[in-house]
Amino acid sequence: MKLYYMPGACSFAPHIILNEAGYQYDVDKVDRSTRKTADGEDYNDVNPKGYVPALRLDDGQVLTEAAVILQYLADQKPASGLAPPAGTLARYRLMEWLHFISTEIHKVFSPLFKPDITPAAREAQITQLARRCEYVERHLREKPFLMGDVYTVADAYLFTVLSWSSRLNVDLQRWPNIGEYLARIGARPAVHAAKAREAADK
Ligand SMILES: N[C@@H](CCC(=O)N[C@@H](CS)C(=O)NCC(=O)O)C(=O)O
C-alpha cells in the first residue's frame, strides 16, 4: 500500500490512520509544482484529479478522496475500531462528520492558501469557519472525540484540517474545547509517527 502525499496537506489524515491501524505502508511525496512524485511517477497519471491524497492498493488500484480512503483504511482493520461497522447508524454518524469536515471545513480553508486572496474574501471564509467551529466547540463540550468516547478516522481528519489554522493565522483561541481536542489528538503516537515519517522522507 502506498500513500501519495504533499507535506502539510489533507493527506496527513490518512497518514495518521495508516499508523493508528498498524499498516505497513510506503509513502510517495508529490511535488506541488512539477506534479512528479519522489518515486518518479507523473502524479496526474496516478490521480487525474491532480490532488492528494491517493492510496495505491496492493493490487495496483488507486483510491482517492480523503473521506473514502479513511473509511477504507478503517474497514480493512475492523479490530482497530476506527470506524463503526458499515450499515449501522453509528457509521452514518461517522459519515455525517466526514462530509461535514470535507465540505464545511476543509473546503472553506482551501481558499485561504491562495496567496492572492483579497482581505474581504479571506474575512468571508474566516466568518464561515467560525460558524463551523462554534458547532464543533459545542459538540466537544462533554465528549473527547467527535463520535463520543471513541477515537475515529473523523478525528484524524478534523485534526488535520484545523491544524492549518496556525499556518494561516486563523485564531482558534475563542474555542477552548477545540484547543484541548487538538492537543489531545496531536499527542497521539500515530500523529508523531506520521509527522516523523514525512519529515524523514526525501
Ligand atoms: N476532494 C479531495 C480534495 C483534496 C484536496 O483538496 N487536496 C489538496 C491538498 S489538501 C491538494 O492536493 N491540492 C492541490 C495542490 O495543492 O496543488 C479530497 O477530499 O480528498
Which ligand 1 atom is at minimum distance from the Cα of 32?
17
Q: Say whether both 36 and 56 belong to one domain.
A: yes
Total domains in the fold of the chain: 2
Say what percent of the chain tops pLDDT 70: 100
State if pTM tops 0.95. yes
Q: Say whether both 93 and 63 belong to one domain.
A: no
Say what percent of the chain tops pLDDT 90: 99
Q: Is 81 left (phi over 0), alpha (psi -120 to 50) or beta?
A: left
Tell me which of 4, 52, 167 to substitute to probe ligand 1's pocket, judged by most ligand atoms within 8 Å of the beta carbon.
52
- Residues lining ligand 1, CB < 6 A? 6, 9-10, 32, 51-53, 65-66, 102, 110
Confidence (pLDDT) at 95 = 98
Residues 6+ away with beta carbon under 8 Å from 54: 3, 4, 46, 47, 62, 63, 64, 69
Q: Whose CA is nearest to atom 20 of ligand 1?
A: 65
83/74 Cα distance (integer angstroms) = 6
Mean pLDDT (the chain) is 97
Distance 5 CA to ligand 1 centre (A): 10
Q: Say whether both 73 and 42 belong to one domain.
A: yes
What confidence tier does 4 reach under pLDDT thresholds 50, 70, 90?
A: very high
Q: Say whether both 38 and 107 belong to one domain.
A: no
Q: Say whether both 94 and 153 belong to one domain.
A: yes
Confidence (pLDDT) at 24 = 97
Q: Select from 21, 58, 19, 11 the least CA-distant residue to 160.
A: 11
Confidence (pLDDT) at 202 = 72
Which ligand 1 atom is at minimum distance from the Cα of 110?
6
Q: Whose CA is nearest to atom 2 of ligand 1?
A: 65
Q: What are phi and psi of 104, to 5 degrees?
A: -105, -15
Whether 181 and 191 have beta carbons less than 8 Å apart is answered as no
Q: Look at residue 65 and give its three-state secondary structure.
A: coil
pLDDT over 80 at 113, yes or no: yes
> What is the four-CA torsion angle of 182, 187, 192, 195, rounded to 10 degrees?
20
Confidence (pLDDT) at 52 = 98
Q: Say whether both 61 and 9 belong to one domain.
A: yes
pLDDT over 80 at 140, yes or no: yes
Confidence (pLDDT) at 69 = 99
pLDDT digits (tens, 9 = 90+) for 152-172: 999 999 999 999 999 999 999
What confidence tier does 36 reach under pLDDT thresholds 50, 70, 90?
A: very high
Q: Say whether both 159 and 193 belong to one domain.
A: no
Distance 30 CA to ligand 1 centre (A): 12
Q: Say whether both 63 and 108 belong to one domain.
A: no
pLDDT over 90 at 33, yes or no: yes
Supply the range of the domain harboring residue 12: 2-80+189-200
Segment 61-83 mean pLDDT: 98
Q: Is 169 left (phi over 0), alpha (psi -120 to 50) or beta?
A: left
- Say how many CA atoms lie within 13 Å of 82 toward its Cβ: 28
pLDDT digits (tens, 9 = 90+) for 164-195: 999 999 999 999 999 999 999 999 999 999 99
Q: Say whether both 174 and 196 belong to one domain.
A: no
Q: Whose CA is nearest to atom 6 of ligand 1?
A: 51
Q: Whose CA is nearest to atom 11 of ligand 1?
A: 51
Confidence (pLDDT) at 124 = 98
